[in-house]
Amino acid sequence: MFEVEIVFSEGLYDRSLDIWGRLVQQLNDFNHFEVIDGFTGKKMLLSEVSCYLRKNKSKSFFIELAGGSIEFSLVADKELCRLDIKNFATSLEMAQSLISALIDEPAFVQARVYDAEYDRWQNAESLTLFDVAHVEHTHLPKKSNGLPFPLTQEIVDISNNPGRWVLREGYIEAVGSPMWVSRSLLNSLGVDEKELMNVDCFFVEDMGDVLKIVACEQCFTVDVGIQAEKQVMLRRILFKV
């Protein structure tokens, strides 16, 4: 599955219904599907969600449909809103169409399409998670979780993983292919657009207030070889890490 992550400035939290309205235009084929409010368990048709959100004056939503979910929420301590679409987009084209419906929103900050399984293990720190899934971890770097005794535990050190993500104030430090980055974020991060545009192995499309960056034909799925090199290069240019 192709997962979608979109970040907006926190001011959009009062306009969650607008976000749903833009998304639902891309979901006409699902209008007669039964969906579930992931917060309350209430069932309804997809076509009824807009009225439901308006009636309840919802600022966030968590809609489960077709085996996947669409969740919009505020990350208050980081001054951003997240829209996560999981286990739903069955193609890269579908994922991109969902993002395209939202990039002209003035509060848009960034977006990316990513592979769920790759993202999971690039950001997994708990050794228990590896053990339960029978995934070998003896070769991975470890560190302390930094908590005082008796909570101290050894965890996987993901600080050098090319596919890691980190919540920052106003944005998420993460890369994807494809990914979209607003010029306002680029400016705040001090990114040299010319350097980004001149990287031969990236295709960068100027979309006005947003740049679309394509580093690979498909999503990143490995942390070695040319894919790793491209992820590291993107991180260096965009986030100076």
For residue range 89-125, list pLDDT tens digits in order.
Answer: 999 999 999 999 999 999 999 999 999 999 999 999 9
* pLDDT tier for residue 58 given thresholds of 50, 70 and 90: very high
The label of the residue with tokens 């790793």 reads 228
The label of the residue with tokens 């960056």 reads 213
Q: Which residues contact 162 (CB under 8 A, 6 or more apart)?
A: 122, 175, 220, 223, 227, 228, 231, 232, 235
Inform me whether the pLDDT recorded for 1 exceeds 90.
no
The pLDDT, as a whole number, for residue 28 is: 87
Distances from the Cα of 219 to the Cα of 31, 70, 90, 160, angstroms: 28, 20, 13, 19
* pLDDT tier for residue 227 given thresholds of 50, 70 and 90: very high
Average pLDDT over the chain, rounded to whole? 95
The label of the residue with tokens 């208050």 reads 76
For the segment 11-26, what is each residue's pLDDT rounded down to a tens digit?
A: 999 899 999 999 999 9
